[in-house]
Chains A and B, each alone.
Chain A
Amino acid sequence: DQQVKQNSPSLSVQEGRISILNCDYTNSMFDYFLWYKKYPAEGPTFLISISSIKDKNEDGRFTVFLNKSAKHLSLHIVPSQPGDSAVYFCAASAQTSYDKVIFGPGTSLSVIP
């Protein structure tokens, strides 16, 4: 039973356009969400996070939106660059145990020059 879902295994976007990666969760106790980026043969690296007290967090080209009622979050990358090509993992945790982070299966983003 997946608590964090990323229903698109892959996504292709033209360079300069917007990339939108989606994530859904089922556990209403989750209140802290993170996005990690992973290149082949490397470990994941932290990209951006959002707390449930916010509905938007922005960091440069990356913005995460949270819709608590729909249990949905999305990562927007504008403009997309070829170096953004990687696997993106959505992750979530609850205040009761922030150490137990639940990861989604990932979305592989390809940015085409």
Chain B
Amino acid sequence: NAGVTQTPKFRILKIGQSMTLQCAQDMNHNYMYWYRQDPGMGLKLIYYSVGAGITDKGEVPNGYNVSRSTTEDFPLRLELAAPSQTSVYFCASSYRTGQPQHFGDGTRLSIL
């Protein structure tokens, strides 16, 4: 049972490049989330989705975009990478609101 799968695990980008972080879950969860974790800090919510076709902003959405065309996938897009976006990114899912979330193993992104 794969749970939440994130790809890639590591990536180095140059300033101004763009990329998409992939997230897929096989638990038929309605809710999906993207977080970033900076050193010494807790996880901060970037975007979340309550179902296919529905997304909403979290605490730190600037510089990111998301889409949710299927229940399983929730990609996160960085359009113009900036050094401040160097972080570890976690995707998570839950069956419904208020339930504990299941996390992927993260994508470590460095922007130089």
Contact = CB atoms under 8 A, between A and B. Distances in A.
How many residues of A sit at the interface, in one of the four size bands? 20 to 34
Given A43-B90, A100-B58, A32 B43 contact: no
Q: Give 9 nearest A-B pairs by CB, closest first.
A: A43-B103, A103-B42, A46-B100, A98-B98, A103-B43, A98-B97, A105-B42, A43-B105, A44-B103
A57 B92 CA distance: 24
Interface string B73-112: 0000000000000000010100001101111111000000
Interface of B: 4, 31, 33, 35, 40-45, 48, 50, 56, 58-59, 90, 92, 97-98, 100-106
SS of A interface (majority): strand
B93 to A, nearest CB: 11
Interface in A3-32: 4, 9, 32
A103 B88 CA distance: 15
A44 B104 CA distance: 8
Given A43-B90, A43-B92, A43-B106, A34 B100 contact: yes
Nearest to A35: B100
B98 A32 contact: yes
Contacts of B4: 43
Nearest to A104: B42
A49 interface: yes
Contact of B45 (A32, A41, A43, A101): A101
A3 B98 CA distance: 18
Contact of A106 (B42, B45, B103, B104): B42
B90 A44 contact: yes
B48 to A, nearest CB: 5
Contacts of B33: 99
Contacts of B45: 100-101
A103 B105 contact: no
Contacts of B31: 99
Nearest to B38: A105
